[in-house]
Homo-oligomer: A and B are copies of this chain.
Amino acid sequence: MRQFAFIVFFLASAVSAQTTRPDSSVVSPDVQPDGRVIFRVYAPKASSVGVAGDFLKVNTTQPMTRDDNGVWSVTVGPLAPTGYIYWFAVDGMNIADPVNPRVKLRWRTSASVVEVPSASGEGNPWDVRDVPHGRVEINWQQSKVLGEARAIYVYTPPGYDADPGARYPVTYLFHGSNDTAAGWSQVGHANFILDNLIAAKKAVPMIVVMTYGHTVPYTAPRDQQARNNATFERYVVEDVVPVIDKTYRTLPARESRAVVGLSMGGGHALQIGLAHLDLFASVGAFSSATPATFQQRATADASEFNQKLNLLWISCGRDDPAFARWERLHQAMDDAHVRHTFRATPGAHTYGVWRQNLAELAPLLFRQRTK
């Protein structure tokens, strides 16, 4: 038998060619033990580079400084332990961090994600802890309403497989404008929040359904955008709820369904929840848009809401542009005797606020559960 030599060749040539680039040694984001974060980006010919993100005021940028190798950097913080999105402004162009694989998928201004961990021993409900983890399942389902297959992200709680006879309540959880069905898990850590609350027996084991909220392309003209909310409502009611009840071991009753969302998705939750009290008995809206129908419904008669809703939970960041509006709405709902909870949360229009909101709301859901 002829001897032959195999060449040890572990990096593909196409890859190794790239790793010799000057930016191959850039580390970003570089999270320090005290919560400060160093951002770096290689932009050798740029004249003005800064970092923007939801740890800064909206529409502001923190300038970065250039070193001799063309790498720009800045240190921010210390930041409170949670997740943040950020991007670089390079000579008027907004870009995600080229060397950070954690990306917030968006249609406009791609963004990157940085996680500032809790100090050891303290721990926040959104940390990745050594507890039993549920799964996030990507279901591609043909939509009759939309005429195409769409990915529905579904969280199943730890132990879902263990008892094939167990059935679970379901929270429908919607993202905001310029986000995707992956946002609530990949940026919002919804799955880790539920894992931790369930492990601590602070929340009922539940299924969480995360759909894609743009039924009209985000880039479509504004007159087409106006159709998004009504089309999304039909998609959820006619396609998503039935397919979830068919695919998963749900408790298919209104008392065991909640609809919750953030920003645009909060508007979706208010719209869909209050228009379909036959399907949902709990509604949550974080830093929310306000659907047109909400006014008509809420000003009609509070008794239907009060009788049929187990929970109407509304929150807004104190520094959110919508905060004053929601304070007024909260007062008006109080005046109209619409039973609800209003939580003013420290922070702005950020996933940091929404993680906190989900961690507060989830323990309140499905407490009337009978099975």
CB-CB under 8 A for A290 and B8, given A23-B93, A103-B110, A335-B2: yes
**Is the pair B109, A302 in contact by a Cβ cutoff of 8 Å?**
no
Q: Which residues of chain B have C-beta atoms less than 8 A from A328's C-beta?
A: 4
**Is the pair B322, A17 in contact by a Cβ cutoff of 8 Å?**
no
The answer, among B27, B142, B336, B348, for a CB contact under 8 Å with A1, is B336
Q: Which residues of chain B have C-beta atoms less than 8 A from A329's C-beta?
A: 4, 6
Over the window 262-291 of chain A, the binary record of Cβ atoms lying under 8 Å from chain B Cβ atoms (1 yes, 0 no) is: 011001000000000000000000010111
**Is the pair A138, B140 in contact by a Cβ cutoff of 8 Å?**
no
A73 at interface by CB-CB < 8 Å: no
8 extra interchain contacts, Cβ-Cβ under 8 A, other than A102-B105, A136-B138? A4-B299, A4-B336, A8-B291, A12-B322, A12-B349, A15-B176, A135-B140, A136-B137
Sampled A-B contacts (30; CB under 8 Å): A4-B295, A4-B328, A8-B291, A9-B325, A10-B264, A10-B291, A11-B264, A12-B177, A12-B289, A12-B322, A13-B58, A13-B321, A15-B176, A15-B263, A18-B109, A23-B94, A44-B92, A44-B93, A45-B46, A45-B91, A46-B91, A46-B93, A90-B90, A93-B98, A98-B110, A103-B103, A130-B149, A133-B142, A135-B137, A137-B137
What residues make up the interface of A, taking CB atoms closer than 8 Å to B?
1-15, 17-19, 21, 23-24, 27, 41-47, 58-59, 70, 90-103, 105-110, 128, 130, 133, 135-142, 149, 161, 164, 176-178, 180, 185, 191-192, 195, 219, 229, 247, 263-264, 267, 287, 289-292, 294-295, 298-299, 302, 320-322, 325, 328-329, 332, 335-337, 348-349
